[in-house]
Amino acid sequence: MKRRQALREIVAFALVLLQTSALNAQSGARVIVIGLLDAGDRREWWDAFRQKLRELGYVEGRNVRFEQRYAKEKLDALPALAQELVQLKVAVIVTSGSAAALAAEHATRKIPIVMASGGDQVSRGLATSLARPGGNVTGVASLSSDLMVKRFELLREVAPKSSRLAVLWQSDYPSSASVRELDGAAARARVAFQSVGFRDAVELTDAFSAMTRERVDAVVVVNGPLVYAERKRIADLALKHKLPAIYGSAEYADVGGLLAYGPSYPDLYRRAAIYVDKILKGANPGDLPIEQPTTFELVIDSGPCQSRDPVNSLASLGVAAIVFAQLPRR
C-alpha cells in the first residue's frame, strides 16, 4: 500500500515537472516581430498579407506579432513612424506604397524591407536593379507609371470624344512619374492635358470645380493614400460632374467608380508575405528579385455606365479579364 502511494507521488511529481517544462518552453519560444508601415490604412490588403502568413505558419499570438504604424494620410509622419519600428528592432519592415518604403529605407540600412506595393524602386534609389536589388529593400512593384498609359487608352475607349484630359493626384505623394507618363500619352494622342493635384478634402472639392471650369471631359485618377481614403467621395464627385474616370484598383469601382484597371492588390500583399517568409528563413533581401505583376483586372461598374458598348472595344486592347457588373455599394 505504501509502495503504491509512493509510486503515485512520484508520477504526480513527474507530471508537474513535465508541465513546468512545457510552460517554460512556451514562454521562451521566439516570437517574430514584423513591422507594418503605411501612409494610410488599407485594411483589406493587409488582411490578405496576414492570411498568407498564417498559411505559411506564422500565427499571430503564437509565433508572430505585428507592430502596425499607419500615418493616417499624413506623409510627414512616416519618418518618425519608421524610426519607431527600427527602435523596436523588428525582424522585417513591410511597407505599402513608395512614400513608406522611402521612409523605412532612410531609417535603416540593416533591417530587411519588403515592399507590398509601390512604383519604380530603381528610379527612386531603393534598388540597384529589379533582378538584383542589392540593398535591404525588395518586394513587389505595382508598375504604377507604366499602367498610366494603359488606363489612358481604356478611358479613351469609353469616352472617345474626350478632347481634354485631367489627371487627379495627391500632390504631396511621389506620383510625378505617373503624371509625366500621362502627359506624354496625351500629347501623342493630341489631347489637351491638365494636372490637378490636391492635398486634403477641401482641395479635392476645389479640384473638381477647377476641372469643370476648364471643361475637362475625362479623368485619370492616380493611386495614393489620400486618394484611396477618399475614393468614395472622388467617385461621387466624378459622377456629380459627369466626368468619366478610371482608377487604379477594383476597390474604387466597388464604391461607384466607372472604371478600374490595375493589379490585384490583395494578391500583391500575399506575394509580399512570401518574401517575408524567405527572409525570415535566411534569404538576403538584396538577392531576391523584385517581382512585377503579371495579371491585371479591369472592373466596369454598370451603375453610372450608359451602355455595354465599350466592352467590345476594351477587349481589343488586350485586357484579359473584364468584370462588368452592378457592384454592391459600401
What DSSP line would sit under 37-51, residue for residue?
EESS--HHHHHHHHH
| Predicted TM-score of the model (pTM) | 0.80
- The whole-angstrom separation of Cα 168 and Cα 247 is 10
What is the predicted pLDDT for the residue at 317?
A: 45
Beta strands of the chain (E only): which ranges?
A: 32-38, 64-70, 92-96, 113-117, 137-139, 164-170, 192-198, 218-221, 245-247, 259-262, 297-301, 322-325
The CATH architecture to which 144-262+296-325 belongs is: 3-Layer(aba) Sandwich (3.40)
Residue with cell 512616416: 78
Decide yes or no: CATH 3.40.50.2300 for domain 32-142+265-287.
Answer: yes
All cell numbers assigned to 214: 476648364
Separation of alpha carbons 187 and 204, rounded Å: 25
* Residue 149: predicted pLDDT: 87
For the chain, 330 residues long, the average pLDDT of each consecutive 10-residue run is: 51 43 49 96 93 97 96 94 98 95 96 92 83 94 78 90 92 78 85 91 94 94 92 95 93 92 94 98 96 88 50 45 40
Residue 28: per-residue pLDDT: 53
Tell me where in the chain the CATH 3.40.50.2300 domain(s) lie.
Answer: 32-142+265-287, 144-262+296-325
